[in-house]
Structure 1
């Protein structure tokens, strides 16, 4: 289906674009202010000693910082019995290629965490070709304490906290980001978390789609069209290469 649009002269398009630019700048400045407020949130000391299975052996949350003072955790939906990761989480994780190096050189470590056993995580990680750190919280309360995994009792009662709201979460695994800080004494603090559509800021594909005529072109959400990247068929690309092949 062709996108709905009006027609204009080059001069009319330029004038309309200048008006839109003013709104885009206001939106950007509002985002800067939100980022400032995000950094100003109070911190919560992490008293629990969480353990994770990593390819380098068992590590605590403090050890996942890797000598840096800041840590971003992505809560990836891959439960203990899953054979592969969530499609949406995989879509987001595809965007981490090349980014981790820059984060690490800016005093930020990045790690993905799932409840699946490390052996299953490693099989899927290698299949996807990802190189970022991915560890297992199997046997830990970490996912439950940060409200991305849910007990059978919570599912049965249809009452669990997700995205800062008590709701019927529907399934036992959800996604999100949590951010931590470690001070000079080794004390770890939880500084920020986001869930649901809050994760969209980390999906650069959406930033590109949002400037195209058809936009995201989703009937409901990304599962309308996103697949694991090794399951796309060439014909779904909708045309030849950009160079005309």
Structure 2
């Protein structure tokens, strides 16, 4: 891979690339100037995302996983190392659907609904496990209700995985969490975790990671109204989408 500093030195200034040849019906000169200014920032954002991703890939080896956690799957017991399948990388998402909840977190559900459609592609590159603390039967029942087809569900009801890798609350509160693990031979290591909690939030913003993992927010960020301040996904809506 090209060295980051060397690559940055060969890039054209974003402003030079931001003279878009596109024009839309009825746009004013003022709009085009502002849009090209925004385009330069979008190019810089894309480059920054690439730099951060490269820095993440260059992390030194993470800690060895302290135990080969045992989970319950639809077909019986499975260990963390077995979740990898044929891959050397495993992504886990901790689903906020613990035994104290009758229904799962709507935000987690929105995210997982989007990922279910992407899962056939994701599984070409890495293994992906959705982990909840409720019994596996409860997790699977909701998956069937929601119509998910590709997500692989696991119950962590009998282990400490959530507490060790998802910062589960001291009173057992659910916490959403992404973790990435790697496997080399018989050794499983922690590679990366999302660590932007409420303490890292900027004023006036909901705590979230970067880049944002929620496809719905990515779409809404491209609209005039943005994300809004008083709207979140729900499990059901009173009316059909318009």
* TM-score tier after normalising by the smaller chain length: 0.7 to 0.9
Q: In 2, are the aligned partners of 1:179 and 1:191 still within 8 Å (CA)? A: yes
Match of 1:176 in 2: 177
Instruction: Give me the whole-angstrom Cα distance separating, in 1, the residues matched to 2:41 and 2:135.
Output: 47
Instruction: Give me the whole-angstrom Cα distance separating, in 2, the residues matched to 1:103 and 1:45.
Output: 25
Q: Quote the RMSD (CA, aligned, Å).
A: 1.8
Offset of residue 28 of structure 1: 1.2
Report how many residues are paired: 204
Q: Does 1:146 align with 2:165?
A: yes
Match of 2:154 in 1: 135
Offset of residue 186 of structure 1: 2.7
Offset of residue 233 of structure 1: 2.3
Match of 2:216 in 1: 205
Which of 211, 218, 237 is residue 232 of structure 1 equivalent to? Answer: 237
Instruction: Give me the whole-angstrom Cα distance separating, in 2, the residues matched to 1:138 and 1:187.
Output: 24
Q: In 2, are the aligned partners of 1:83 and 1:120 still within 8 Å (CA)? A: no
SS at match of 1:45: coil
1:156-195 → structure 2 map (5 Å cutoff): 172-183=173-184, 185-195=185-195
Q: In 1, are the aligned partners of 2:91 and 2:129 still within 8 Å (CA)? A: yes
Q: Does 1:69 align with 2:62?
A: no
Match of 2:23 in 1: none
Q: In 2, are the aligned partners of 1:66 and 1:109 still within 8 Å (CA)? A: yes
Instruction: Give me the whole-angstrom Cα distance separating, in 1, the residues matched to 2:42 and 2:29.
Output: 20
Pair 1:76–1:199, CA change in 2 (3 A): farther
Q: Which runs of 4+ in 1 moved over 6 A?
A: none
Offset of residue 12 of structure 1: 1.7
